[in-house]
Amino acid sequence: MLLGIKGPEWLLQPFTPLFLCPFAPRSWGANRAGFFLLSAALICSPFVGTNSAARASSQDALIDWQSFERQVRDGRIEKDVARWKLPEIMAHLKNYAAVYPFLNNSKWTFPVRGYDNRSVGGQNGDGFQPDIYYGRSAIEGYDFFDGNKHGGHPAHDIFVRDRNQDGLDDTTGKPIEIVTMTASLVIGVVTDWKPGSVLRGGNVAWLYNPVLGMIFYYAHLNTICVKPGEFLKQGAPIGTVGRTGAAANEKRSPTHLHLMVLKYDSGSLTPYDFYKYLADNRY
Ligand SMILES: [Zn+2]
């Protein structure tokens, strides 16, 4: 491992604003150009590094997932074709992720640091409503393959103390950290959302746990301090709570984390209600 860069997967997100992230080493920002060249060298030479086969497989699995997810999100792939492709993409991801130590804890970490189950939207977890009309979507119910147009609210929202909507905790004046609920492999991030974009998630992080067969979608983030290909232990920082996303950026929306878990089962990705894991967290 040279200069802390694990492999060419870093190249997948060359514009990640690492220098904006309060949790990233400062040197990352200053040395980005060097990292870029280094990563390019790792890709170009099969003799650099000791684990180039694993790197190649990681790169393929991650690139395939990211390309696929964005095609689905943007409606650039027929639903039937996407359904047909998904099992192979998930098999590759699972195969790559198998090299990491996914020691799963039966208790999950609450995803917003300094908060607990009292901050979860709705009553006793009833904010999880995958089968309804929701927001401005004309579609009833959630289907992963509907992408950015999907219906339903297949997620739990976790609200933070931010009355003035500056993205900082009203009591501490500081950014609010988001952490992993379980051990996870980072499989995709969006870090360049701008107001006016129709993307509903805003800045998002996609994480994966192959043992649980679950994909985690953290949305409306401000900063993100992880990159695709990175393995994160349970409770590791992902970024900070924000107000990004088409509706989440509007004044009427209280600042919150939108958190969806998809379970991969029988060739499909379906919303999983993980409320019991949130409710298990009292401070
Ligand atoms: Zn939500």
DSSP annotation of 191 reads: -
At 131 the pLDDT is: 85
CA of 283 to the centre of ligand 1 (A): 23
Number of domains in the chain: 1
pLDDT at 253: 95
* 242 to 165, 172, 214, 254: CA distances (angstroms): 9, 16, 24, 10
pLDDT of residue 130: 92
**CATH number of the domain that residue 250 is part of:** 2.70.70.10
In a domain, 264, yes or no: yes
CA–centroid distance, 24 to ligand 1, in Å, is 27
Q: Is residue 68 part of a domain?
A: no
Asked if residue 8 is part of any domain, the answer here is no
User: Residue 206 C-alpha to ligand 1 middle, in angstroms?
Assistant: 15
Going from the Cα of 156 to the center of ligand 1, the distance in angstroms, rounded, reads: 6
- The reported pLDDT for the residue numbered 261 is 98
Residue 178 domain boundaries: 117-279
- The answer to the question of residue 40 being in a domain is no
What pLDDT, on the 0 to 100 scale, is given for residue 30? 41
Q: What is the pLDDT of residue 17?
A: 41
Round to whole Å and give the CA distance between 60 and 58: 5
Pinpoint the alpha helices (H) of the chain: 26-30, 32-44, 52-73, 79-97, 275-279
Domain presence at residue 186? yes
CA of 265 from ligand 1 middle (Å) equals 23
Separation of CA 258 and ligand 1 centre (Å): 4
Distance 202 CA to ligand 1 centre (A): 12
Ligand 1 center from residue 13 Cα (angstroms): 25
Q: Tell whether 97 is covered by a domain.
A: no
Ligand 1 centre to CA of 259 (Å) is 7
Residue 192 lies in a domain: yes
Assigned domain for 246 exists: yes
Give the span between the Cα atoms of 55 and 149, in whole angstroms: 34
Confidence (pLDDT) at 43: 40
In this prediction, residue 139 carries a pLDDT of: 83
Token pair listed for 200: 């509903």
CA of 147 to the centre of ligand 1 (A): 15
pLDDT in tens, the chain (283 residues): 333 333 444 444 434 444 344 444 444 444 444 444 444 444 433 333 335 555 556 679 999 999 999 999 999 999 999 999 999 999 999 999 999 999 878 999 999 999 999 999 999 999 999 988 788 878 889 999 999 988 999 999 999 999 999 999 999 999 999 999 999 999 999 999 999 999 999 999 999 999 999 999 999 999 999 999 999 999 999 999 999 999 999 999 999 999 999 999 989 999 999 999 999 876 4
